[in-house]
Amino acid sequence: MVIEMRRQRANTFVGISDFLLALNNVIFILFIFAIMAMAAKVPPASGVEVKAEYLITAEWDLDHDCDVDLWVRDPLGNIVYYGQKESGSMHLDHDSRGHLSDEERLPDGTIVKPRIYSETATLRGIVPGEYTVNIHLYGAWTGSNAMDHTPGTPYSVPVHVRITKLNPSAVTMFDQEPRLERVWQEITVTRFSLGADGSWLGTDATPMRLQRS
């Protein structure tokens, strides 16, 4: 009788141990799923670079102290420019306003200048269809103490526009240097088309106004 009772207690202990072990495994699996779900909701940390497919750059020399704006429209009608730096899968790095935004004065009075004034739009995903690239002369320093935004004011600035395909390796697909001739002028540099796989399908020069006012 004593042996039988000990055997029953042993069987009970084994059953409870098996149950606790199984419960522990279930809790562990649920914990892992919870961590994965939380991680999926956390955005990339600051400084983590999102993969880019194409870069569109507009550059002008430091001798031309002016505010040239880069405007890019995707096939869905999304537009990036100084007033909307993210739209769809596109991003504009920053709004260059000549020395106002791109020069820095150090504590000792030294002025640090960039190599060149520039704006860059990044295509972080591929939307097949036609993209439009425009440049717009928002204002220029014409000798006064303030930037001149008067439409029609004569001011000539060549702007180097380049489109670079980044994957699988960096290849320049478009490289031209159009010239803006007056304040508030907007010109279409190019309209280019991409396939669903990101392939370059060609360009068109038909003008399209993007500036909204």
Q: Domain 54-204 adopts which CATH fold?
A: Lipoxygenase-1 (2.60.60)
Return the pLDDT at 21.
47
Q: How many CA atoms does the CB half-sphere of 16 hold within 13 Å? A: 6
Return the pLDDT at 18.
57
Give me the sheet containing 129-140, strands edge to edge: 79-80, 66-73, 129-140, 186-194, 200-204
pTM over 0.95: no
Report CA-CA distances (Å) from 93 to 28, 178, 210: 43, 21, 19
Beta bridge partners of 80: 72
State yes or no: pLDDT of 22 exceeds 70: no
The pLDDT of 106-129, averaged and rounded, is 88
More confident residue, 122 or 27: 122
State yes or no: pLDDT of 87 exceeds 70: yes
pLDDT, averaged across the chain:
81
User: pLDDT category, 39, cuts 50, 70, 90?
Assistant: very low
State yes or no: pLDDT of 86 exceeds 60: yes
